[in-house]
Amino acid sequence: MARACSPAPTPRAARRHRRPVMALLDLLGRRWAMRVLWELREERRSFRGLREACGGLSPAVLNARLRELRDARLVDLADGEGYGLSPLGLELLDRFLPLVAWADRWAKAPSKRLGDP
pLDDT in tens, 50-61: 999 999 899 999
When the pLDDT of each residue in the chain is averaged and rounded to a whole number, the result is 86
Instruction: Tell whether the model's pLDDT for residue 15 goes beyond 80.
Output: no
Instruction: Read off the CATH number of the domain in which 65 is found.
Output: 1.10.10.10
* Residue 8 included in any domain: no
Nearest to 8 by CA among 51, 99, 70: 70
**According to the model, what pLDDT value does residue 3 have?**
44
116 secondary structure, DSSP code = -
Instruction: Tell whether the model's pLDDT for residue 13 goes beyond 90.
Output: no
**According to the model, what pLDDT value does residue 31 have?**
92
User: What's the domain count of the chain?
Assistant: 1
pTM to 2 decimal places: 0.76
* Residue 98 included in any domain: yes
**According to the model, what pLDDT value does residue 1 have?**
42
Measure the CA–CA gap between 26 and 54, rounded to whole angstroms.
Answer: 20
